[in-house]
A and B are shown apart, each in its own frame.
Chain A
Amino acid sequence: MSDKPKIAMYWCASCGGCEESVVDLAEDILFVVENVDIVFWPVALDFKKKDVEAMEDGSIVASFINGAIRTTEQEEMVRMLRRKSQIVIAYGSCAQTGGIPALANLCEREAILQYVYHDAPTVKNPEGTRPQLETRENGFRATLPEFHNVVRTLGQIVDVDYYLPGCPPSPKLLKEAVIVLLSGNLPPKGTVLAPDKALCDECARKETKPETMEIEAFHRPHNTPVDPELCFLAQGIVCMGPATRAGCGAACTCGNMPCTGCYGPTSRVEDQGAKILSSLMANLAPKDEEGIRKALEGIPDPVGTFYRYAVAGSLMRGKLTK
Chain B
Amino acid sequence: MSDKWQPTIVGFFCNWCTYTAADLAGVSRMKYPATVRVIRLMCSGRVDPQFILKAFAGGADGVLIGGCHPGDCHYLEGNYKALRRFEMMKKLIAGFGIDEKRLRLEWISAAEGEKVKRVIEEMTQQVQELGPLDVPKIFAGWDEELDKLEEEIKKEAEEPSHV
Chains A and B in contact, CB within 8 Å: yes
Q: Which residues of A contact B (CB under 8 A)?
A: 72, 75-76, 79, 106, 134, 140-143, 146, 148-150, 157, 269-271, 273-275, 277-278, 280-282, 284, 286-287, 289, 292-293, 296, 299, 301-304, 306, 314-322
Cβ contacts A to B, 11 pairs, < 8 Å: A72-B148, A76-B152, A142-B163, A271-B50, A278-B50, A280-B88, A296-B87, A299-B88, A304-B95, A318-B96, A319-B97
Determine if A284 and B96 form an interchain contact, defined as CB atoms under 8 angstroms apart: no
Please encode chain B, from 125 to 141, with 1 for each CB lying within 8 Å of some chain A CB and 0 for all others. 00000000101001100
* Complex alpha-carbon distance, A157 and B142, angstroms: 13
Q: Nearest Cβ distance between residue A3 and chain B, in whole angstroms? A: 32
Q: Point out the residues of chain B lying under 8 angstroms from A79, CB to CB.
A: 149
Known pairs A79-B149, A141-B162, A320-B138; list 11 more (Cβ under 8 Å): A72-B152, A76-B149, A274-B53, A281-B88, A282-B85, A292-B87, A306-B92, A316-B53, A316-B56, A316-B93, A316-B135
Q: Nearest Cβ distance between residue B2 and chain A, in whole angstroms? A: 25
Determine if A274 and B81 form an interchain contact, defined as CB atoms under 8 angstroms apart: no
Determine if B98 and A303 form an interchain contact, defined as CB atoms under 8 angstroms apart: no
Determine if B96 and A277 form an interchain contact, defined as CB atoms under 8 angstroms apart: no
Please encode chain B, from 60 to 101, with 1 for each CB lying within 8 Å of some chain A CB and 0 for all others. 000000000010000000001101110111011101111000
Determine if A75 and B149 form an interchain contact, defined as CB atoms under 8 angstroms apart: yes
Known: A281-B84, A289-B87. A157 touches B146 (CB 8 A): yes
- Which single residue of chain B is at the shortest CB-CB distance from A272? B50
Determine if B85 and A277 form an interchain contact, defined as CB atoms under 8 angstroms apart: yes
Q: Nearest Cβ distance between residue B89 and chain A, in whole angstroms? A: 7
Say which residue of B49, B95, B96 sits within 8 Å of A275 (CB atoms): B49
Determine if A278 and B48 form an interchain contact, defined as CB atoms under 8 angstroms apart: yes
Determine if B149 and A274 form an interchain contact, defined as CB atoms under 8 angstroms apart: no
- Which single residue of chain B is at the shortest CB-CB distance from A284? B84
Q: Point out the residues of chain B lying under 8 angstroms from A277, CB to CB.
A: 49, 85, 88-89, 92
By Cβ-Cβ distance, the 4 closest A-B pairs, closest first, are A303-B95, A274-B49, A320-B97, A319-B97
Determine if B50 and A270 form an interchain contact, defined as CB atoms under 8 angstroms apart: yes
Q: Point out the residues of chain A lying under 8 angstroms from B84, CB to CB.
A: 281-282, 284, 286, 292
Q: Point out the residues of chain B lying under 8 angstroms from A143, CB to CB.
A: 156, 161
Determine if B53 and A315 form an interchain contact, defined as CB atoms under 8 angstroms apart: yes
* Complex alpha-carbon distance, A195 and B92, angstroms: 29
Q: Point out the residues of chain A lying under 8 angstroms from B48, CB to CB.
A: 274-275, 278
Question: Within residues 100 to 123 of chain B, which ones have a CB less than 8 A from any CB in chain A?
Answer: none
Determine if B95 and A301 form an interchain contact, defined as CB atoms under 8 angstroms apart: yes
Q: Nearest Cβ distance between residue A303 and chain B, in whole angstroms? A: 4
Determine if B57 and A316 form an interchain contact, defined as CB atoms under 8 angstroms apart: yes
Determine if B159 and A141 form an interchain contact, defined as CB atoms under 8 angstroms apart: yes
Q: Point out the residues of chain A lying under 8 angstroms from B3, CB to CB.
A: none
Q: Point out the residues of chain A lying under 8 angstroms from B138, CB to CB.
A: 320, 322
Which residue, of B52, B57, B93, has the highest number of chain A Cβ atoms within 10 A?
Answer: B57
Q: Nearest Cβ distance between residue A26 and chain B, in whole angstroms? A: 37
Report if B153 contacts A (CB, 8 A): yes
Which residue, of B52, B153, B161, B163, has the highest number of chain A Cβ atoms within 10 A?
Answer: B161
Q: Nearest Cβ distance between residue B7 and chain A, in whole angstroms? A: 16
Q: Point out the residues of chain A lying under 8 angstroms from B142, CB to CB.
A: 149-150, 317-318
Question: Within residues 8 to 58 of chain B, which ones have a CB less than 8 A from any CB in chain A?
Answer: 45, 48-50, 52-54, 56-57
Q: Nearest Cβ distance between residue A71 and chain B, in whole angstroms? A: 10
Known: A157-B146, A315-B54. A287 touches B87 (CB 8 A): no
Determine if B92 and A303 form an interchain contact, defined as CB atoms under 8 angstroms apart: yes
Determine if B139 and A317 form an interchain contact, defined as CB atoms under 8 angstroms apart: yes
